[in-house]
Chains A and B, each alone.
Chain A
Amino acid sequence: MPEGSQGITRAKDICRDRFRRVKELRKEGRKILGYICLHAPVEMMTALQIIPFRMLGDIYETPTQVDRFLPRAFCPFVRSVFDLSLKGKYDFLDGMLLVHSCDAMERTGRIWESVVDHHYFHFMDLPTKVSERHRKFFREGLDDFKKTLEELTGKELSFEELKKAIESHNEQRRLVRSLYEITEKVPPKISGSEILQVIGAITSIPVEEGNKLLREVLAEIGKRKSGKLKGPRILVWGSVLDHPAFVEMIEDLGAHVVIDDLCTGTRGYWVDVKLDGDLLSSLAYYYLVELRCPRTFKEAPSDGKRKDYSADLEERFGYLREFAKTWKVDGAILQSVKYCDCHGFEVPQVKDYFNSLGITSLSLEHNYMIADREVLKTRVEAFLEILRGGVE
């Protein structure tokens, strides 16, 4: 742990014991709602003084209870979160919002609601496509969600309160982006695994506390001396990594994870929610269009008669070109938990895109649990060797 790293130490502490702060706040009478997927409009909860809490799994805890309800050949992340819930570890929540982000979430959500007793449970559907009509439809779904929150709190959600909450969350987005700006530099003063821990921390405390923590962290990192350039600069793409172990493993092998495309990394922070006009429409636009996730169907505009694969890849993954350029990426690791269909179908296409950019990539599948890391290590090591051949 770096000397004098107060902010980072705090972030790591919170990340290690994510329940502690919200449990305290619950004792003080605050309401806590759990959500799993990034598509949950946390701003609406914050606006009503509800604390949004991102429910994660535990890579160290073998799932046992969940075998009663979910098959083994199933998203191991969702299995882990559900297992913790079945074991009562999420009992401190007042309820849950489950968003239809992928099959695994949608289906498990229905089982969850049937077998876990939460005072509040809302299932929010999410269209697959992104046209104006789809956004409008989703906006109406947000309005339903708003009503359920008003019923839960007995308060009306005002325009002003929602605007304020969006501003706070946008502020959080900007602060997280500032963290990633640090990793643009060669060598970076903050590691990829540290960033993941900071994000793990801020998704388990109220947004204002999270922003304060981020400012602390940024100030602290600003004072850090530059380290040494250890090795290749890596982009990590893929499904949820809710624990820093995977990225730590890459970094321990002498590489820098400088940027990611993960739903526990950049994805939730890259764009701000716009504050003009109808705020629910802005949220609908953000969560359906701006939030990058393979679950949403996007394609390049065309004449509707012929599909151009390269144009399609550019439309869907163009941001990765920016990432690669700005963060001077030497190689990409495409990782996904097994049984994740959304990411699984995407892998060869993302690989095609990286190939077109001249960036070497490695794809890896894992079973989410910590024990799998050792198996992956050998492959990552070999990949880094290849990159070193080209980097040094």
Chain B
Amino acid sequence: MSGEGKKRYINRLKSFLPLRSKIDETYKKSLEAIQMGRPVAWAMINAWYGDPILRAIELETVYPENFGAVCAAEGIAESYLNRADAEGFPSHLCGYARNCFGYVSRMTKELGGKIPPEAPIGGMPKPIFLLSSNIGCDARYKWFQALGRYLDVPVWVLDMPIPGVKELFRDGVYERCIRFIVEELKEFVHFLERILGVKMDWDRLEKTVYDIEEMNRVWFEINEFRKAIPCPMHSRDFWSAMPPSLFLAGKPAETLILYKEMWKEVKERVDHKLSSIHTEEKFRILFSELPPWHSLSVFENMAERGWNFVIESWGYHPPPPLDLSGISDPLEHIARFSFHFHTAYFKDALEEGEYYGYMGYPLLKFAREYKCDGAFFHLPLTCRSTSTHQLYLQEKMKEKLKIPSMIVSGDIVDLRLFNPAEVMKRIEVFEESMESYRKVREERS
């Protein structure tokens, strides 16, 4: 972080604070649950697939991916990574997963299932089951499957169909996927009812689903405001505010109100042409993928030079709103919403002859619509899911949009791989490149 008293160049919103605090609240609640003899689940981030059900059935849930980021930021991860190495897990595997293997190995092999005392924010208590999915990456189910070495709890995998871009538009494919997802959800509800010994409260589920859709609609609109020049909200605020949407940290009904507050604050900035950086907005930048959580101060240094991060990783954003008013079954709501998240940009992608319809193409679209001057790609070495599309996008952005980008290697957990000083050295050269491409774009238009 920038030193105390150092001038801040990012003009942070006020409304992100209560949203960010929902993370700590989630961990606190899971610990309270365990203390009161109530179960806790561990889940992978699942794009609103299983989470709405977990919230409606009131099962406290923690997210080992997020815990990995917290351990990295708190400097605890290294000891867990070393343990995972010693347990025989290859070091190229997802850093969050390896952090988790180390943590669980310590918890089960050394502490009889108790939370390790050094664990940050209270740690993750032993779960009643593990919710996996194939969404986003293979690690999200292979990781929990491998936890069977340490935990004798069931793994439930939610399967999400992932068709090709043009294949999605073949006759009947879309609706077939929806029917499949609804069936997945039904089975998941039965599983939960069995393992928890409670019945799903369908009215509560309906209300939860409504709140989630509404919350994401507001959150989507907030991000639409960021197309304004100057951009009213920086990526730092986005990252701080995203957990209530991304993995439903907090109660959706309450966080909906908080997002509405944020909507007002951002709208006011747009109306008054207020920027999210205190310097002149010289460069509008797209950020791709997992942020270097441990080195976020580098964004202050860039803001000082007029870099405004106006949009970021597709995977953290809710999909464009979908009219589901004609549908009464809450499971179908969930199915359509979550599937829409994955496929919302397929149609546009197909029209442009692009087949990386999620993850890849949406960023191309964002770069154009948010009038970006450049893109900053953070290439995490242990996450295939978020690194595969980056070079391809770099190529496409340059070829199609005349937008240059810089790629910086790093990792999600291993802090030593990201070098902020090196980044600052490179950005001067990159500024020249952005300037010259700006001219190319102007000439072209």
Contacts and interface: CB of A to CB of B under 8 A. Distances in A.
Interface of A: 67-71, 73-75, 98, 100, 102-104, 106-111, 113-115, 122-125, 127-129, 133-134, 137, 140, 144, 147, 294-295, 297, 299, 302, 304-309, 312, 336, 338-339, 341-342, 344-349, 351-352, 363, 365
B154 A114 contact: no
Interface in B359-390: 359-360, 379, 381-382, 384-385, 387-390
Contacts of B356: 107, 110-111, 114
Contacts of A347: 88-90
A127 B387 contact: no
Contact of A114 (B87, B137, B355, B388): B355
Contacts of B146: 345-346, 348-349
A74 B388 CA distance: 8
Contacts of A128: 134, 141, 157, 159
A308 B154 CA distance: 9
A349 B355 contact: no
B202 interface: no
B435 interface: no
Contacts of A110: 164-165, 355-357, 360
B322 interface: no
B254 interface: no
B413 interface: no
Contact of B145 (A74, A137, A345): A345
A304 B163 contact: no
Closest 6 CB pairs of A and B: A123-B164, A345-B142, A113-B355, A107-B388, A110-B356, A348-B88
A71 B137 CA distance: 16
B392 A69 contact: yes
A295 to B, nearest CB: 7
Contacts of A309: 148-149, 152
A165 B195 CA distance: 46
Given A128-B159, A351-B88, A71 B93 contact: no
A378 to B, nearest CB: 19
B274 interface: no
Given A104-B384, A111-B389, A348 B157 contact: no
A70 B137 contact: no
Contact of A348 (B89, B139, B167): B89
Best-surrounded residue of B92, B152, B359 (most CB of chain A within 10 A)? B92
A19 B151 CA distance: 49
Contacts of B355: 110-111, 113-114, 123
Given A110-B164, A352-B149, A69 B391 contact: yes
A177 B177 CA distance: 37
A74 B384 contact: yes
Given A123-B163, A305-B154, A352-B149, A68 B395 contact: yes
B205 interface: no
A339 B155 contact: no
B173 interface: yes
A294 B145 CA distance: 11
A297 B145 contact: yes
Interface in B157-191: 157, 159, 161-165, 167, 170, 173, 176, 180, 183, 191
